[in-house]
Structure 1
Amino acid sequence: MSNLETARAFFEACEAGRGWEACRTHCTPSATFAAQAGALAEVQTLEQYTEWMKGILSMLTDGTYELHAFAEDRERGQVCAFATFVGTHRAGGPVPPTNKTTRTDYVYAMRFQGGKIVHMTKVWNDGYALRELGWIDPVSAKDRFASQ
């Protein structure tokens, strides 16, 4: 299986909320994870992230994605996916169900070694998504700076 095919299989399993059990075959056991997003601050491994996604989809029960681009950089051993996640908060969560929907863009940058994912970085504006879901204060940073 090529890196591109492996990345696609991982992406589909992860985004479906199948957790580590379904994603592990595409990754090294110690695959790491990084994101500059407060909601993912404690997540350091790809195993933790795939389980986090599984949990999110238990709250955003209609969660799905719209895939915009999927590309491989063979020279650098990277595969990138650009998508929009769409989901409505209908169950569980940090607050009672809000029935609000988020449409949030994100990118996965997956680094490969030996045909397996060894690291993934998620580029995502979690604050935007959490505000849309009604999970955090809806006052935007723009409004905060304008009042100073």
Structure 2
Amino acid sequence: MSNINDVAAAFFDACETGQGWDGCAEYCTPDATFSAQSEAIGDITELSDYADWMKGTLMIMPDGSYDLKSWAVDTERNSVLAYAVFNATHTGEGGPVPPTGKSVSSDYVYDMRFEGDKISHMTKIWHSGVALQQLGWA
């Protein structure tokens, strides 16, 4: 894959379906970084750790899915933006509290930055406070 659109799409699906870093690494530079101004994930700085966090999220919310709303490729800036809504219900063990049975529908955006044909940095734009309230975690 050399087209950033195709690479971003493959990464996005792998990440959002809980494949963890093992399923995402081939689309990224080995030292890909991550950032988010979000309470729940603000301390994650490596994309590998974020991909594994998503894998863990889908273990406690096994019905988790995404609804892709918008997709944009910016070849001038070598980036791809994805806007989606994450939907899930907390039914699995291992979360911050016992399963609440509550559901979440949470908007988010990924800004995937490329070096050549690999993602080198991703920023997630997400209001985790609303999501945590919906799940009964806050």
Q: Taking structure 2 as the reference length, what is the TM-score of the superposition?
A: 0.97
Distance 1:91 1:104 in 2: 18
Give the secondary-structure state (helix, strand or coil) at the position aligned to 1:128: helix
Partner of 1:29: 30
> Larger helix proportion, structure 1 or 2?
1
Partner of 2:47: 46
Matches within 5 A, 1:46-125: 46-92=47-93, 93-125=95-127
User: Which consecutive residues of structure 1, in runs of 5 or more, have no partner in the other structure?
Assistant: 137-148
Distance 1:90 1:30 in 2: 33
Give the secondary-structure state (helix, strand or coil) at the position aligned to 1:56: helix
Give CA deviations for 1:31-54 in whole Å, capped at 9, x if unaligned.
000000011022101000000000
Paired AA for residue 123 in structure 1: I
Paired AA for residue 34 in structure 2: F
Deviation at 1:132, TM superposition (A): 0.1
The size of the alignment, in residue pairs, is 136
User: Which consecutive residues of structure 2, in runs of 5 or more, have no partner in the other structure?
Assistant: none
Runs of at least 4 residues of structure 1 off by over 3 A?
none
Radius of gyration: which is bigger?
1
Give the secondary-structure state (helix, strand or coil) at the position aligned to 1:28: strand
Q: Using CA pairs under 8 Å that are at least 6 residues apart, name the structure with larger relative contact order, 1 or 2.
A: 2
Over the residues paired in the alignment, what is the CA RMSD in angstroms? 0.5
Distance 2:55 2:47 in 1: 12
Distance 1:98 1:4 in 2: 37
Deviation at 1:21, TM superposition (A): 0.5
Give the secondary-structure state (helix, strand or coil) at the position aligned to 1:17: coil
2:137 to 127, 135, 143: 135
